[in-house]
Amino acid sequence: MHDLTPVVVNLRGDDAPENLLSALSTTRPLVLIAGLGAIERLDWKPAASALLCHPMPVTGVLHGCLGGPAACLMLACDALVMTPRSSLCLTPSGRGEAVLLALRLGPGAAAKVWFSGGELSARQAVQSGWAEMARGSIADALESARERYNGLSSEAVVQLRPLLYHQAGLPLAQAQALERAAFALAFDTGHPAEGIAAFLEKRKPRF
């Protein structure tokens, strides 16, 4: 069993890089909070690489207009929860931002962002399926991010990231083979039987 209680990292303040490094040493989901005043003294590429290699999902919580290294770091998040009128202001440096944005939005939508000056609005991010809109405040957004994995099978959540990144760009036959292997691993845990039983008995599953 894996602990699905997320580790929350606020990217604001002088101790943010150290807090992020500490969070990456855990095997729990991560929630990164970013907004005005987010870290500037950060080499975002190795930090993003470490986030992409983290074994559990990473969710970004975004409030306000975010630029600089913290904005690039958000590209390493599997999903965003954004407050209304928040946005990412990205500046391509040739260090992988374009590739990550295309992974998140799709090539066409990513190209539109770059041609419009690198600003990704909350509305555009939600339309792409990468983000969800919070009800209003940063507290609402954080609560939504914290609850993303409540009631889910921890064994299934552990498989999410490898499937997401290993399938990217694969031919259909290879992607389907990877999915079949993941199905087999999931059924070996016994969790699917509990999920079916919970559905039939109209109750929450107990994984």
Number of domains in the chain: 2
Tens digit of pLDDT at every position of the chain (207 positions): 678 899 999 998 888 888 999 999 999 999 999 886 777 777 888 889 999 989 899 999 999 899 888 898 999 999 999 998 899 999 888 888 999 999 899 999 999 999 999 999 999 999 999 999 998 788 889 999 998 888 888 888 888 787 877 777 778 888 888 888 888 887 887 788 888 888 888 888 887
The residue among 146, 165, 180 that closes a domain is 146
Please report the pLDDT score of residue 80 as a whole number: 96
Same domain membership, residue 158 and residue 142: no
Q: Which residues are paired to 121 by β-bridges?
A: 87
Q: Is 28 within a domain?
A: yes
CATH number at residue 98: 3.90.226.10
Please report the pLDDT score of residue 187 as a whole number: 80
Q: Is 74 within a domain?
A: yes
Residues 1 and 23: beta-carbon distance below 8 Å: no
Strand positions, DSSP E, 1-71: 7-10, 30-34, 58-62, 65-66
Distances (CA, A) of 102 to 61, 68, 111, 123, 174: 20, 19, 8, 17, 21
pTM equals 0.83
Place of tokens 């016994």: 190
CA distance 104 to 91: 16
Q: Is 206 within a domain?
A: no
Same domain membership, residue 158 and residue 134: no
Same domain membership, residue 188 and residue 117: no
Helix ranges (DSSP H) in 58-190: 68-74, 97-105, 107-115, 122-128, 138-146, 154-167, 172-188
Q: Is 207 within a domain?
A: no
Same domain membership, residue 112 and residue 37: yes
What is the strand order of the sheet 131-133 is part of?
Answer: 7-10, 30-34, 58-62, 79-82, 131-133
Same domain membership, residue 159 and residue 122: no
Host domain of residue 127: 7-146
Task: Report the residue count for the chain.
Answer: 207
Please report the pLDDT score of residue 1 as a whole number: 66
Please report the pLDDT score of residue 196 as a whole number: 84
Closest by CA position to 90, among listed 34, 136, 146, 22: 34
Q: Is 63 within a domain?
A: yes
